[in-house]
Amino acid sequence: MKTKVVAAMSGGVDSSVAAFLLKEQGFEVIGLTMDLYDVHRLKCDEAGTKSCCGWKAKEDASRVAAVLGIPFYVVDLRREFEETVVGDFCREYGLGRTPNPCIRCNEHIKFRALLERAGKLGADLIATGHYARIVRGRDSGRFELRQGLDRNKDQSYFLYSLGQEQLAASVFPVGGLTKEEVRRTARKLGLTVADKPESQEICFVPDKDYAAFVAARCPGALQPGPILDMQGRVLGRHKGIIHFTVGQRKGMGIAARQPLYVLAIDAIRQAVIVGPNEERGFALAATAVPIAYIAWSVWLVVLGLALVL
């Protein structure tokens, strides 16, 4: 019997060619697209063909599956995606951090929730169009995640959180190819997605306005606060820490004699700390002080309760 594999098809050229390569290698391939988030069709149109969201992705993936002659399904993972990816995205921004939802999606959705659905279809493996490779260590027997052959397109860093169980059940068919080789293969097959532009925006924020997205879901994330220098002097005010990212140079709304960068974000004080780039290490240490103070205070309270009891 042929080994059955579910090909996660995003509607892009990489996952489409991955599905084709699997079929050529003798696998029994099932095409599957994840329904993750309801993005209004007009927003997808405004974002152009680069968007991997909603109806466009499912439409393109379905057409590719028909050309390849493989069964195709759409699996509804909107609830899981909302809870583990979108919710986390908003929480992290509210804490002054800059999350990468793709990493969390890979760990919790593609290689966990989708892997479970693949098992229900009787599939042994799941495949994606990631530019990465999996090698089993000769001595350790462990599965090792390695960079894709095309270093300009390598996506292994998006997959760093995958464990042994997930890597053992995963296949990356285009990991040993270059992007141009992938497109060339798609052209030979006559796939309409052969020259489709790459999708680089976050799928659930096609207009790239992350701050507006977070603010609409978590109004409390728009608390105003001070813009401080390393000495604690107030240089200005901001409308919410979600508008800032560590390393940011522009958009601070303050004037200075030298270039200022966002060195740190203190979510406890709702403060943005700025200064010359060379002060970055000192800023990280300074913002750790309030957190350490709170942790120490909590420990003293717990210790006091223990002594009383």
CB within 8 Å of 241: residues ≥ 6 apart: 94, 96, 221, 223, 225, 265, 267, 270, 271, 272
Going by DSSP bridges, is the β-strand pair 234-238/225-228 parallel, antiparallel, or unpaired?
antiparallel
Catalytic status, residue 102:
no
**229 token code pair:** 């220098």
Taking every pair of Cα atoms in the chain, the longest distance, rounded to a whole number of angstroms, is 77
Tell me the C-alpha distance between 28 and 43, whole Å: 36
Give rounded-to-5 percent helix, strand, coil for the chain: 45, 15, 35
Among residues 44, 53, 90, 105, the one annotated as catalytic is 105
Tell me the C-alpha distance between 74 and 277, whole Å: 47
Cα separations (Å) of 179 from 14, 34, 64, 149, 160? 8, 23, 18, 10, 21
127: nearest Cα among 37, 36, 14: 14
User: What is the C-alpha R_g of the chain?
Assistant: 23
Helix axes 54-68, 13-24, angle to 10 degrees: 20
Catalytic status, residue 53:
no
- Give 299's strand partners: none
Among residues 44, 52, 203, 218, the one annotated as catalytic is 203
Instruction: Cite the active site residues.
Output: 105, 203
